[in-house]
Amino acid sequence: DAKTTQPNSMESNEEEPVHLPCNHSTISGTDYIHWYRQLPSQGPEYVIHGLTSNVNNRMASLAIAEDRKSSTLILHRATLRDAAVYYCILLSVGFNKFYFGSGTKLNVKP
């Protein structure tokens, strides 16, 4: 199964943009890139996903490198409520499994 690599932790100031990186050098052509986040004492929450093109939604943007070996989750204006663990996951079309890594713990300072 394809693996992802993320920094253990990152820190940001409130109201500033945050760029959360993810490396996935063994990604295959049919792997989707998914991002979830987990707030303290809660279940994971879907953030965004994409295949090749950059994606935007109300929560975040996903920038995917041209070779697809890395991606970046962008929170445009961090708030204290964005403090969470962010997971980058690869999912192959036709496979039914999600593998979560250890994720990046984002700390947002007021």
Partner 1 sequence: NAGVTQTPKFQVLKTGQSMTLQCAQDMNHEYMSWYRQDPGMGLRLIHYSVGAGITDQGEVPNGYNVSRSTTEDFPLRLLSAAPSQTSVYFCASSLVRGSEQYFGPGTRLTVT
Q: Tell me which residues touch partner 1 (CB under 8 A).
A: 32, 36, 42-46, 49, 87, 91, 93, 95-103
In the chain the beta strands, taken as DSSP E runs, fall at 9-13, 18-23, 31-38, 45-50, 55-56, 61-64, 70-75, 84-92, 104-109
Question: Rounded to whole angstroms, how far apart are CA atoms 20 and 68?
Answer: 15
Q: Which is nearer to partner 1, 42 or 53 (CB)?
A: 42
Closest distance to partner 1 from the beta carbon of 48 (Å): 9
Q: Which is nearer to partner 1, 21 or 101 (CB)?
A: 101
Cα torsion for 70, 21, 77, 60, to the nearest 10°?
Answer: 40
Closest distance to partner 1 from the beta carbon of 78 (Å): 22
Closest distance to partner 1 from the beta carbon of 44 (Å): 5
Question: Rounded to whole angstroms, how far apart are CA atoms 93 and 110?
Answer: 40
Closest distance to partner 1 from the beta carbon of 2 (Å): 14
Q: Which is nearer to partner 1, 80 or 93 (CB)?
A: 93
